[in-house]
Structure 1
Amino acid sequence: MFKKWFKKEETIVSPLNGAAVAIESVPDPTFAEKMVGDGLAVEPTDGQVVAPVAGKVVQIFPTNHAFGIETAIGAEILIHIGLETVGMKGERFTARVKEGDTVKPGDVIIEFDLSLVKEKAAHTVTPIVVTNADQFAIEKQPIGDVVAGKTPLFTLISR
């Protein structure tokens, strides 16, 4: 009972406007089978990705199609814009922050051309996963329409 009081938790909000979907429905086994981690995904309606949580940007892939944030409680969040977007070689993906920057929910991280992703990538669905999910209990919110920087996707509770 007392141990519960010392647990830390953090809420991860949507990094995109769109519709949240179950990670298991992502048409890529790496994400759907949770090989990278657990979380949710968002089918975006525009090309702006914001920070889903306060933390430090620990990685921005050279092609700007994915990035990682480490939170105050040690969660490692990976946001991967679309599927097979690495093959676009960064075309019309623009990072607005750099590795090492501290961000808060709603800060713009990456802007991208959604219509080009629809044309050139396998899919636009964007997984948001906790890569060290084994260290947390994850309480997911109901799926549906989400607002970037505002709508909670899930809460992490340290084990």
Structure 2
Amino acid sequence: MFKKLFGQKKNDKEVKLVAALTGEIIPIERVEDPVFAQKMAGDGLAIVPTQGEVVAPISGKVTHLFDTHHAIGITTKEGLEILIHIGIDTVKLDGKGFNAYVEVGDEVKQGERLITVDLNLLKESGFAISTPIVITNGEVVAEQKVLATGNVIAGEDEILSILLK
């Protein structure tokens, strides 16, 4: 009741992530890689994409971009660290099928295009296309809530609400 009347405590901060890809939301536990499925890389969810454009799920700074462009990290001004890992074991493609539109150090806005990927190439090469979106520094998270199930549209549908400590 107190929170309803007076809102969150002053130091609480809620941030919302939008879908980084168009596709179907699946629980992180269903990802084909145990590192993600067992939340060793962080908690979150995954999207099985139907389109190959990856957008920023939240505004922030690009803090990691693998040379192979299969994974990207964004850190928000609040210090939340997000990792988007496109497909499973796709590092083995050595960048083939991936194009990055940003570099480490770039400030990005929620919904801005980050990477494009040839999903057909990934599938034809035998790689799972499930794309985990995880919080890699869970120690700053007080509460995490999944906001969407089923199909989502990149840059539009809210997928996660994160309440920071």
TM-score after normalising by structure 2: 0.92
State the shift of 1:77 in Å: 0.1
Q: Which has the larger radius of gyration?
A: 2
Which structure 1 segments of 5+ residues have no match? none
How many percent identity over aligned positions? Answer: 46
1:48 counterpart = 2:37: no
Structure 2: which 5+ runs fail to align?
Answer: none
Larger deviation, residues 133-142 vs 81-90: 133-142
Distance in 1 (CA, whole Å) between partners of 2:40 and 2:71 is 16
Query: Aligned-pair distance for 1:46?
Result: 1.1
Corresponding residue for residue 115 of structure 1: 120
CA distances 1:113-157 after superposition (whole Å, capped 9, x unpaired): 110011124300000000011221111123211010111111111
Q: How does 1:79-90 map to 2 (within 5 A)?
A: 79-90=84-95
Contact 2:19 2:157 in 1 (8 A): yes
- Residue 157 of structure 1: aligned partner: 163
SS in 1 for 2:115: strand
The reply to whether residue 7 of structure 1 matches residue 12 of structure 2 is yes
Secondary structure of 2:9's aligned partner: helix
Question: Contact between 1:84 and 1:121, CA under 8 Å: does it hold in 2?
Answer: no
In structure 2, how many angstroms separate the alpha carbons of the residues matched to 1:37 and 1:153? 16
Residue identity matched to 2:29: E
Which residue of 142, 145, 149 corresponds with 2:151? 145
Rounded to whole Å, the distance in 1 between the matches of 2:126 and 2:134 is 20
Letter aligned with residue 72 of structure 1? K
Matched, 1:132 2:130: no
4+ long deviations beyond 6 Å = none
Partner residue in 1 for 2:29: 24
Q: Does residue 1:62 correspond to 2:67, yes or no?
A: yes
| Aligned equivalents of 2:135, 2:126: Cα separation in 1 | 23
